[in-house]
Amino acid sequence: MLAVTALAAAVCGVTVSPAATAAVHIGARAGTATAIPGFLIQSSSQVSDDAAVSRPGFSTTGWYPVTARSTVYAGLLRNGEYPDPFYSTRMRDVPKSRFQVPWWYRADLSLDSTDQRTYLDFSGVLSKADVWLNGTRIATRDDVNGAYTRHELDVTAQVHQGVNSVAFKVYPNDPNKDLSMGWIDWAQTPPDQNMGIVRDVLVRRGGPVALRGAHVVTRLNSALSHVDLTVKADVRNDSAGAVSTVVSGTVAGRAISQTVSLAAREKKTVTFGAVGVDDPNVWWPAGMGAQPLYDLDLGAAVDGTASDASHTRFGVRTVTAKLNSSGGRSYTINGRPLLVKGGGWSPDLFLRWNATYASDKLKYVKDLGLNTVRLEGHIEPDEFFDLADRYGVLTLPGWECCDKWEGQVNGDENGDEWTAADYPIAKASMTAEAERLRNHPSVISFLIGSDFAPDATIEKNYLDALSAADWPVPVVPAASASSSPQLGDSGMKMNGPYDWIPPNYWYDKAHEDGGGAWSFNSETSAGPDIPTMDTLNRMMSPTELNTLWSNYSAAQYHRSQSSTFGNIKLFGDALTGRYGRPSNLTDFVRKAQLAQYENVRAEFESHNRDFTDGSDPSTGLIYWMLNSGWTSLHWQLFDYYLDQNGAYYGAKKAGEPLHIQYSYDNRSVVVVNQNHAAASGLTAVVKLYNLDGTEKFTQTRTGLSVGGDGAKATALTIPSVSGLSTTYLAKLVLTDASGREVSRNVYWLSTKSDVLDWDSSDWYYTPTTAYADLKGLSGMAQVSVGTTATSVNGADGTTTTTVTLRNTSSGKVPAFYLDVHVVGAGGAPVLPIQWNDNAVSLWPGESTTLTAKYRTADLNGSAPSVRVAGWNTGTQTVGVR
């Protein structure tokens, strides 16, 4: 388990599984698939004879060892060729010329025998390659083309007992010309444009009959009391003679068997009779139920000898995504309504896979109270979806915008038009991803378009591929408000915003081109998400940090390669207009955290509230984005190092299962219940305070009831209150029938409203002509906070730290926005970490207990301390008992 500094190294490929330099042992047992654990790479400019590279004994002196999944630049980073690319502008200084020629990936394979057939099985080449084996080219870049196409090369005739050599000559990747992966406006593009191999290359062994594509078609009844399981598999005779094979195994523990006759080189899709299971273990998203999985195990035998074997896991669930009466796409799962709440997923900028890191990010999704991640391109490897299945995190994979994927229909966006050769590559990509993802219950749709829907020809190819793969969940034509000839309207919108707008924006329903809380918004946020000071110091130089707060118009390398999002001017101007001009970097960062908290909270709360509206309900929200693949200043609920800022805690607060919230549009106080069961006997208390702590309004609503599955109930509407300071605080508390506090929510509000100029809206924001006045916060009186902390080490390798905070002041002023970090050696935050709550406010005499859970190893051998930073309390660090 990794400390935070080691985590960064691991993601950089430094401490991930070592690259292989010796020959990889390939056993002879039928049905095995061995992943090549690593390669040696070198520029083609250093190679004079292509055929020689793949001959055993070829000298690789000076070649670079890399892991099994590595782009060229990631491999060079691993070998220390370049410094940390996530700091300052170091990556910008890397010469691109080195990556404008092909690069070789080479490995040696040691075969026990040639008694079995041998195959190379791979996808994830960015974006094309020649494949060589033992001095012979066995596939060309015309054959191996496209990041998602899957290839199985029968190399039985080319291999021999002992050492064999395989080599991939990988050609430069260009997302505008190739059906691969690009970075659009998310981040700066790596200098190699991610050329390389980013999924496993498998060496398969088997007998005359190969077993491929085993999957289960599930038919779950509406009562969830019975499911029919229909198993299908492709059975292929790769020998020169006819064979009879017995395909047998178990599905959900029930035996199945079938005898299949195959002519020479013949392939058949075998369908087994439906297996009925009563009272099945149904798979649910996190927060709605459990995530049980079933097993499918099959084997093929010829004359009683094993020829091949297959194992996969699957879940039982039913997903629908119909258009509602307002035209929005409304999801259900297992018959229950589902408000899709999530964020846009980003892999590591260099496409390095680290299972621990991916697991940590998915655990954050659950901690935030979200249920979904959208993968616009960058569709992760199999282990990612295994994790999503296990954790109950829903996924929305699909093709990406703004490059070759939409080149045929993309209007003014980037991406070359398709040639005749692109259509079969795109269809093969769809086939490969459909077959790979169909068994995963976490996958609830595939978006075959992003900014644009495909034309008739492309759509038909995609749908034919999906149908042939028994694709089990809805297909959506686009993430935007588009339509395609067969599928019709998408039921989604992509109206932005993508840059700063005020919190009240999210409650708008009057503007059909706006991003307010109605319909299914596939990507949207208020843009910049400034990290914590800990992370900023890791990613930017002192000069860059000074520019960040003092010159909002300056270009920011760590924001985006897009000129539209090249600086933080909209955000910075709003920060100054609403909170007052920052006096230094620390003041800028702390004000940014407040701004991000209130904005992200309002975004999610507005959609939660409007989910059950009778007209134009909010049916889905994808925050743009969940995370960033590098050290970024925008579009992230948590940063690259997994630190949690105001955006994180604003989303987490809105994600409470039973939640009390304030409405910026009509001043109503609403209780939203995301639990399945209804809640009753609730009491809502609302108090308004001036910043000196004077209470100006209080109202209590008792006997409140609210239904389940996202239902809401209005507790009260706050009337006009006289005597409020220009900036004031609202404290909302919800207790259950026993008096236990179940939700607490504190807002900082103004008697002056943010005013939007809707008529001047652009695709990425709506201008604000007048700002709410929150400057009074800077004048809040200082108060004292008492802090105690204890830790307990668990048997599972984790530590739980419990922190008790108490406002010990004798006056009336609250301790505002208390942010707590567990820190280790040198005061570095311990990450990842999960708190039950954070960024809290306490009135005099109030106390709260916060708990944090993290890996003990991430302390790196040091004793934990707790750092508490409050808006008006100063910063203190206390030891942990």
> Exposed, middle or buried, 336 (CB in 10 Å: 0-12/13-18/19+)?
middle
Segments of 548-678 assigned E as strands: 618-623, 658-662, 668-673
846 is catalytic: no
Calpha distance 263→243 (Å, rounded) = 7
Calpha distance 428→148 (Å, rounded) = 8
For 380-398, give the DSSP string.
--HHHHHHHHHHT-EEEEE
Calpha distance 428→684 (Å, rounded) = 56
Per-residue pLDDT tens over the stretch 743-787: 999 999 999 999 999 999 999 999 999 999 999 999 999 999 999
C-alpha distances (whole Å) from 239 to each of 527, 530, 574, 610 are 58, 60, 70, 61
pTM listed for this prediction: 0.96
Geometric angle at alpha carbon 25, from 73 and 115, rounded to 5°: 130
Of 538, 531, 565, 507, give the one whose Cα is nearest residue 648. Answer: 531
Which residue type occupies 625? M
Calpha distance 255→333 (Å, rounded) = 29
For 352-377, give the DSSP string.
---HHHHHHHHHHHHHTT--EEEEES
Cα-Cα end-to-end distance for the chain: 23
- Looking at residue 412, what is its pLDDT? 86
Q: At 533, phi and psi to the nearest 5?
A: -60, -35
Residue recorded with tokens 């006056």? 811
Task: Check: CB of residue 444 under 8 Å from CB of residue 475.
Answer: no
Of 712, 716, 750, give the one whose Cα is nearest residue 732. Answer: 716
- Looking at residue 21, what is its pLDDT? 66
| Encoded tokens for 377 | 């391109």
Question: Residue ranges of the chain with pLDDT lower than 70?
Answer: 1-21
C-alpha distances (whole Å) from 598 to each of 315, 474, 828 are 38, 34, 26
| Encoded tokens for 572 | 């910075």
Task: Check: CB of residue 119 under 8 Å from CB of residue 111.
Answer: no
Per-residue pLDDT tens over the stretch 720-731: 999 999 999 999
| Encoded tokens for 326 | 């307002």
Geometric angle at alpha carbon 553, from 778 and 779, rounded to 5°: 5
Q: H helices within 30-131, ranges in order?
A: 50-53, 72-78
Task: Check: CB of residue 664 under 8 Å from CB of residue 674.
Answer: no
Residue recorded with tokens 């110091």? 537
- Looking at residue 657, what is its pLDDT? 98
Q: At 577, phi and psi to the nearest 5?
A: -65, -30
Write down the catalytic residue from 348, 389, 451, 656: 451
Please count the CA atoms within 13 angstroms of the CA of 188 that sit on its side-chain side. Answer: 23
* 3 state DSSP class of 37: coil
Residues in the chain: 881
Calpha distance 348→351 (Å, rounded) = 5
Q: How far is CA 508 from the centre of its chain?
A: 27
* Helix-strand-coil split of the chain, %, nearest 5: 20, 35, 45
Query: Could you tell me which residues are beta bridge partners of residue 850?
Result: 803
C-alpha distances (whole Å) from 866 to each of 801, 803, 850, 859 are 9, 8, 11, 12
Computed on alpha carbons and rounded to an integer, the radius of gyration of the chain in Å comes to 28
523 is catalytic: yes
Of 366, 391, 374, 834, give the one whose Cα is nearest residue 625. Answer: 374
Using the Cα atoms of residue 94, residue 100, residue 105 and residue 106 in order, give the sign of their dihedral.
Answer: negative
| Encoded tokens for 478 | 């686009």
Please count the CA atoms within 13 angstroms of the CA of 268 that sit on its side-chain side. Answer: 16
Geometric angle at alpha carbon 741, from 736 and 744, rounded to 5°: 120
Query: In 10 A of CB 388, how many CB atoms?
Result: 26
Strands 267-271, 226-237: pairing is antiparallel
> What letter does residue 718 receive in the DSSP assignment?
-
Task: Check: CB of residue 179 under 8 Å from CB of residue 148.
Answer: yes
Query: Could you tell me which residues are beta bridge partners of residue 711?
Result: 673
Name every residue whose Cβ is closer than 8 Å to that of residue 132 and which is 6 or more positions away in sequence.
50, 51, 53, 54, 138, 166, 167, 168, 169
Calpha distance 127→192 (Å, rounded) = 12
Helix (H) or strand (E) holding 499: none
Q: Is the peptide bond before 617 cis (omega within 30 degrees of 0)?
A: no
Task: Check: CB of residue 247 under 8 Å from CB of residue 310.
Answer: no
Task: Check: CB of residue 210 under 8 Å from CB of residue 265.
Answer: no
Write down the catalytic residue from 178, 406, 422, 523: 523
Give the max Cα distance, the chain: 93
Calpha distance 540→589 (Å, rounded) = 14
Of 105, 159, 157, 156, give the one whose Cα is nearest residue 131. Answer: 105
> What letter does residue 456 receive in the DSSP assignment?
H
| Encoded tokens for 232 | 């299908």
Angle between helices 542-550 and 585-610 (to 10 degrees): 60
| Encoded tokens for 293 | 């999985």
Per-residue pLDDT tens over the stretch 634-669: 999 999 999 999 999 999 999 999 999 999 999 999
> Exposed, middle or buried, 562 (CB in 10 Å: 0-12/13-18/19+)?
middle
Query: In 10 A of CB 796, how many CB atoms?
Result: 8
Of 398, 391, 387, 467, give the one whose Cα is nearest residue 435. Answer: 467
| Encoded tokens for 714 | 């209005």
Sheet holding 658-662, edge to edge: 658-662, 668-673, 711-717
| Encoded tokens for 794 | 């668990």
- Looking at residue 776, what is its pLDDT? 98
Residue recorded with tokens 């199945």? 256
Query: In 10 A of CB 363, how many CB atoms?
Result: 17
Calpha distance 664→658 (Å, rounded) = 19
